[in-house]
Amino acid sequence: MAAVTALNESAAAASAGRTRGMQAGRRRRLNVFRYVVFTVFGLFFLLPLLAMLRFSLEGAKLGTWSLTAWRQIASYQNTGIPPLLSAIEITLELAVITCAVMLVLLVPTMIWVRLRVPWLARTIEVLCLLPLTIPSIVLVVGLGEIYNRIQHYSLSALMLFWVYVILALPYAYRALAAGLGAIDVTTLSEAARSLGASWFTVIVRVIAPNMRQSILNAVLLTWSLVLGEFTIAYLLLYTNLQVELYSISRNTPNAGVLFSTSFAALLFAFALLMILSYVGRRRRGRG
Amino acid sequence: MEALSRHYGPVVALDRLDLTLQPGELIVLLGPSGCGKTTTLRLLAGLEDADAGQIFVGGKDITRLPASKRDMGMVFQAYSLFPHMTVRQNVAFGLRLRRIGAAQRDKRAMEMLELVDLPTQADRYPHQLSGGQQQRVALARALAIEPQVLLLDEPLSALDAKVRAQLRDQIRRIQLEVGITTLFVTHDQEEALAIADRVGVMREGHIEQLAPPVEVYSRPATSFVAEFVGLTNRLVGEVRAGQLTVRGCTLPLVDRETPDGQVVALVRPEAVTLASHDAPESGLLVGTVIAVTFLGATSRVTVDLGDATILAQVTTADATALPAGSRVALTIRPDPVLVSASSDPAVSVAGDEA
């Protein structure tokens, strides 16, 4: 009996061992697959960036190194076109204004709708996502008349913030909606109200601080959109960073400053992402 | 609260409800889901508007006052602490809104945390606390603003049984210590009976009985109360000349004016005593044990009488002598019994006024 029991036990152990072996093999194959995919796509994205970086560090002679293209970011100027630095400044200002207006518009509205008029939520969602379905050229045709009037009062490219807010709506909405969905907005607002908070206090001091991560995400998405926007600025005859880079490329196709500026913009966006991730992680760790 | 009514479309949540809380009293509203107990609480808090009726606090009509101006402290079922604030900041939040100075705010917050036995957790964040601790902080936060009324909306529902019992007693201790008028909503009978000065049993938007716990349990005003609060056996009996006969047992009635006729007697399981019965039937009420449910110190025995089943609550020591299948003799303790007309078990026959 003991021998039969021992036989049964060793058969079970062998079977368990075989299963573990198969699972380990499967895990190994999965890891290999992951690494291959990661490497292939990593190279697909990284190689052009590395080429761009190398080109921006190219000296006058092929094969030499130089920081000229990077130094030119602050001083490059095409004839008859505003300096590159000015375009960079305008774009950064546009990004800040667009983010601010978008947040002031969307955050209280979304919280208010969630708390007080939930039946409007679907309508707001559709309105916010609508710009995704409208091609830029159609937007420009629609906004052309309005911008004709705006240009009577101001020719500054900062006026682009109106249309950029519209463009950023779908991305910002989704980021903020995810944040709102992660907190119990109703209970928090009722708790605050029962303690004597006004609706303003509820939105600004109770709900919005708990949406910090999603607000940061919305800011990042808006910022990236503004930094990379070309079509609408070009068609409405404004000069932002991308329009300026395009002009430079038309006039001086081999200008290293094109690549140094583009790479700098990319680095800036990455840096922003890292900062936001760090802030978000720190907040999660703290509370 | 006078003649309060609230409708959600065709659904009547509250139907002309009248409720008065005495100063320093703890009233528990008890009832099944959808009976209107939470709606009552939310109307008092100002989180919802009444369709009709009035609410007075300290003689002042607050019916149309917004929630932020009602000066009530509320503890919610769901964890309601502000995640981005520390425990200290949470407790001090209401004081900050009232523009109380930082030093005084801090002092008061620490006093409240000491009241709920959490002074060492002041600088932690809500997610670092257990469920019971979070609800204690929520209680401290509600009390910090010295409200006129404390409202608790099933604050223990999300907690496990042992923590629930501990926190329940702590809430009662704090409520007595502070002396604050309190309205507590729950669907848990044990909670209600353990801590209330008065229990209001609600059904379909109105209060069936509002009385001290002992009275609600031992002298239920209606069959709904009798059946909702604790377990109840429904036994067919007959009333004749002010006396009730059930299964050969003669029992007094809660309402001696009950007219003669067939009735349904509502008998508590603990009023039924069991003894082992090996001899043939001799006029005693006899049955067969179907099941024994172990509940800890007591056990519930289900006995088959042939044409009905009856529940008896006995000590576990006694229950072990009565395994399933054994024959038992039953006696019903002669406590006053509530009856309802046998034709309509839901109709109440009022005993004493609640």
Chain B stretch 40-79, residues whose beta carbon is closer than 8 A to a beta carbon of chain A: 45-47, 66-74, 76, 78-79
Residue A76 CA from chain centroid, whole number:
28
Mutation pick from B42, B62, B68 vs chain A, by most beta carbons of A within 10 Å, is B68
Residues 237-296 of B with CB under 8 A from A: none
3-class secondary-structure state, position A155: coil
Nearest CB among B78, B86, B97 relative to A195 is that of: B97
Distance of alpha carbon A54 from alpha carbon B255, whole angstroms = 99
Rounded to whole angstroms, what are the CA distances from B155 to A9, B183, B186?
Answer: 52, 12, 8
Give the residue among B180, B229, B205, B196 at the shortest CA–CA distance from B73. B180
Report the predicted TM-score, pTM, of the whole model to 2 decimal places. Answer: 0.76
Could you tell me which of B50, B56, B47 has the C-alpha nearest to residue B76? Answer: B47
Residue A6's pLDDT is: 64
Could you read off the pLDDT of B83-128 as tens digits, one per residue?
999 999 999 999 999 999 999 999 999 999 999 999 999 999 999 9
DSSP H or E segment with residue B11: strand B11-17
φ, ψ at B149 (rounded to 5°): -135, 140
Q: pLDDT averaged over chain A?
A: 85
Partner residue facing A193 (CB), from B67, B86, B125? B67
In order of A61, A80, B270, the CA distances from B292 in angstroms are 97, 97, 14
Residue stretches of chain B with pLDDT short of 70:
278-284, 341-354
How many CB atoms sit inside 10 A of residue A157's CB?
22
Mutation choice for B interface testing from A194, A200, A204, A216 by most B CBs within 10 A? A194
Residue A66 three-state SS: coil
User: What type of residue sits at position A149?
Assistant: R
Task: Copy the structure tokens of residue A13.
Answer: 């152990």
DSSP string, B294-318: E-SSEEEEEEE-SS-EEEEEEEHHH
How far is residue B147 from each of residues A196, B24, B35, B170, measured CA to CA in Å?
11, 12, 27, 19
Is the CB of A201 less than 8 angstroms away from the CB of B83?
no
Q: Contact A195/B127, CB-based, under 8 Å?
A: no
Q: End-to-end distance of chain B based on CA atoms, in angstroms?
A: 17
- CB neighbours of B82 closer than 8 A, spacing ≥ 6? A188, A191, A192, A206, A210, B89, B90, B93, B126
Amino acid letter for position B304: D
Considering only CA atoms, which of B327, B349, B352 is closest in space to residue B237? B349
Alpha-carbon torsion (B81, B86, B92, B98), positive or negative: negative
Distance CA A183, CA A209 (A): 11
Distance CA B74, CA B42 (A): 10
For residues B186 and B156, is the Cβ–Cβ distance under 8 A? yes
* pLDDT at residue B279, as a whole number: 55
B72, B95, B47, B49: which is closest to B181 by C-alpha? B72
CB pairs under 8 A between A and B: 74
Using a CB-CB distance cutoff of 8 angstroms, which residues of chain A are in contact with residue B112? Answer: none
Q: What is the pLDDT of residue A254?
A: 62
Report helix, strand or coil for B188: coil
Residue A14 exposed, middle or buried by CB count within 10 Å (0-12, 13-18, 19+) = exposed
Tell me whether residues B47 and A190 touch, CB distance under 8 A: yes
Chain A contact residues (CB < 8 Å to B): 183-184, 187-188, 190-198, 201, 206, 209-210, 212, 286-287
For residue A195, the chain B residue with the least C-alpha distance is B94
| Dihedral pair phi/psi, residue B318, rounded to 5° | -70, -35
Q: What is the residue-level pLDDT of chain A in tens, covering all 287 positions?
A: 555 666 667 777 777 777 888 888 888 888 899 999 999 998 998 888 888 888 888 877 777 888 888 877 777 765 555 577 888 889 999 999 999 999 999 999 999 999 889 999 999 999 999 999 998 889 889 888 888 888 888 778 888 999 999 999 999 999 999 999 999 999 999 999 999 999 999 999 999 999 988 999 999 999 989 998 999 999 988 888 888 888 888 877 667 778 888 888 888 878 877 887 787 666 555 54
Whole-number pLDDT of residue B183: 94
Rounded (5°) CA angle B16-B20-B23: 160
Q: What is the pLDDT of residues B178-215, one digit of tens each?
A: 999 999 999 888 899 999 999 999 998 889 999 999 98
- Residues whose CB falls within 8 Å of the CB of residue B311, separated by 6 or more in sequence, listed in order: B231, B233, B269, B272, B300, B301, B302, B303
Specify the pairing of strand B198-203 against strand B206-211: antiparallel
Number of Cβ within a 10 Å radius of residue B174: 20
* Ordered DSSP codes for B73-132: EEE-SS--S-TTS-HHHHHHHHHHHTT--HHHHHHHHHHHHHHTT-GGGTTS-GGGS-HH
Q: What is the CA radius of gyration of chain A?
A: 27
Of B47, B84, B145, the CB nearest to A196: B145
Q: Return the H-helix or E-strand segment holding B45.
A: helix B37-45
Q: How far apart are CA B45 and CA B32, in angstroms?
A: 21
CA of B14 vs chain A CAs: smallest distance (Å): 21
Contact between chains at A190 and B69 (C-beta distance less than 8 A): no
Question: Is the Cβ pair B83, A212 closer than 8 Å?
Answer: no
First CA to last CA across chain A, in angstroms? 60
Name, in order, each residue with C-beta under 8 angstroms of B17's C-beta and a sequence gap of 6 or more.
B1, B3, B4, B5, B36, B40, B53, B205, B206, B207
